[in-house]
Amino acid sequence: MTLGGAVAGPGPGATHHERRGTVTWLCYGLLGFFSYFINSLGPILSFLRADLDLSYTVTSLHSSAFAIGMIVAGVSANLLATALGRRAVVWLGGAGMSIGTLVLVVGRHPAVTVTGALLMGCLGSLLAVMVSAVLADEHGPRRAAMLMEANVVASACGMVAPILVGAVAAVGLGWQSAVVAPIALFGLALARFRSQPFPVPVQSLGHGAGSPGERLPGPYWAFWTVLLLTVAVEFATLFWAAAFLEDVAGLSRSAAAAAVSLFLGGMLVGRFAGSRFMLAGRRGGSLLLVSLVTATVAYALYWWSPGVPLTLIGLTVMGVGTANLYPLTLSLAIEAAGGRTDLAATRASLAAGVAIVASSIVLGRLADLFGISAAYGIVAVLLGGAIVAALFALRLAASAAAPVMAASTTP
């Protein structure tokens, strides 16, 4: 990519791979595993709210606990990777996600289920942080396309989650049974690939491995702000869509849970198209802005539509628009970080955690006070802020890249 900052070149001795090898496919699968559980959380909370007779505010504590865990991961992942190595952190994250999910679905008291969500966020998010960093270092200048392709796989796995939760509940197997298969698959992956080596971090080779005084540049933090706002949009929609469709659109609980897959299906389509767009060598900044506008228009249809069909169409198209916001912004942020891959990915997880905590608490409280329909108005504010922040970040990154480009062309 050329828009949004200078391309971060490989560190000394770093090797970037053009092909998708074992590491790449393993990362794709692990990100899909993470995505399945994070996208099943909204539908699961809809059933938990009914089973345990929870208010919107108490229900929101689960997504907030998950997000607090993401914040912990965002502070600690870089340090853990330095101390233990990427491979150990990856498998620790997957095991933690599995254990936390089991605690969430078998718990019969909010204190237990919230603890499960906290474990999912705290340990499970380590997996997502490390996968992003590994893919970025594995593929170097092609990181944007590969991160978006990884998120195509994640979207496909995430789309299955609400369908499966709704389906097993509808046929009487119990919504809790939807977590069994992915945990078993993770166990098989751990047994088969636990010794698989991962690429050495670029900063370990040329930038100093995340020293305590190391700072990320201004353009990175501009994209970090965009990431904060867009993640808040995605998860405010994802975690509360089932409740919105049940309480406002009038769908049954199982139908509302399954209908969340429309948002995720839109994300799958959007990410597949976006990955092809980036593999063709197009500009990531342009796609980011188009995606934000698409998400805003679709959100208006989803929120204000008087009928169920248009509401569902709006939700689907919103998924298309939202699809590439996270992988694109993450790639632009890592590019702006100048090779500090682990540190950049870790701080990005921090942004995601803060976004989910804030959006979950605010939206849940507003839903109790004014109803879920009125509470959803916060998404309009977030989208407007994201557009403004993206324009600023792209301009700042382009200004920072200009001296580098000029120096590289000077005889």
| 5 within some domain | no
* CA–CA separation, 237 and 319 (whole Å): 9
| pLDDT score of 329 | 92
The two three-digit tokens of residue 169, written as one number: 């509940």
| pLDDT score of 280 | 67
Query: Given pLDDT bands bounded at 50, 70 and 90, which one contains residue 11?
Result: very low
Residue given tokens 């891959």 in the structure block = 341
CA pseudo-torsion sign 85, 90, 91, 95: positive
- The top-scoring range by mean pLDDT among 167-176, 222-231, 396-405 is 222-231
11-20, 46-55, 257-266, 321-330: range with lowest mean pLDDT: 11-20
| pLDDT score of 403 | 53
| pLDDT score of 160 | 86
* CA–CA separation, 342 and 81 (whole Å): 8
Residue given tokens 């997504």 in the structure block = 63
| 9 within some domain | no
Asked whether residue 222 carries a pLDDT value surpassing 90, the answer given is yes
Asked whether residue 263 carries a pLDDT value surpassing 70, the answer given is yes
The two three-digit tokens of residue 97, written as one number: 């996600």
* CA–CA separation, 50 and 28 (whole Å): 34
Closest CA to 342 of 214, 202, 141: 202
* CA–CA separation, 253 and 48 (whole Å): 11
| pLDDT score of 161 | 86
Digit-coded pLDDT (tens) for 68-119: 888 888 788 878 888 888 888 999 999 999 999 999 988 989 999 999 999 9
| 321 within some domain | yes
| Number of neighbouring beta carbons within 10 Å of residue 264 | 28
Residue 98: its H or E element: helix 86-106
Query: Given pLDDT bands bounded at 50, 70 and 90, which one contains residue 211?
Result: very low
Asked whether residue 189 carries a pLDDT value surpassing 60, the answer given is yes
| pLDDT score of 202 | 56
| 17 within some domain | no
| pLDDT score of 128 | 84
- Domain with 41, as residue range(s), is 22-208+215-401
Residue given tokens 């490989």 in the structure block = 10
* CA–CA separation, 9 and 285 (whole Å): 19
Total number of domains in the chain? 1
Amino acid at site 309:
P
DSSP one-letter code for 18: S
Closest CA to 291 of 327, 257, 262: 327
| 13 within some domain | no
* CA–CA separation, 154 and 182 (whole Å): 13
Residue given tokens 């998950």 in the structure block = 66
| pLDDT score of 100 | 94
Mean of pLDDT over the chain: 82
Distances (CA, A) of 254 to 101, 159, 168, 305, 359: 20, 15, 9, 21, 24
| 152 within some domain | yes
Digit-coded pLDDT (tens) for 299-340: 999 998 888 999 999 999 999 999 889 888 988 888 888 777
Asked whether residue 406 carries a pLDDT value surpassing 50, the answer given is no
DSSP one-letter code for 261: H
Closest CA to 4 of 333, 312, 273, 369: 333
- Per-residue HEC secondary structure of 159-218 comes to HHHHHHHHHHHHCCCCHHHHHHHHHHHHHHHHHHHCCCCCCCCHHHHHCCCCCCCCCCCH
In percent, the amount of the chain with pLDDT more than 90 equals 27
More confident position, 121 or 339: 121
| pLDDT score of 55 | 84
Residue given tokens 């870089």 in the structure block = 78
* CA–CA separation, 72 and 126 (whole Å): 9
* CA–CA separation, 78 and 85 (whole Å): 10
| 52 within some domain | yes
Digit-coded pLDDT (tens) for 268-302: 889 888 878 876 666 778 889 999 999 999 999 99
| pLDDT score of 14 | 42
| Number of neighbouring beta carbons within 10 Å of residue 274 | 29
What is the domain-level CATH number for residue 61? Answer: 1.20.1250.20
| 15 within some domain | no
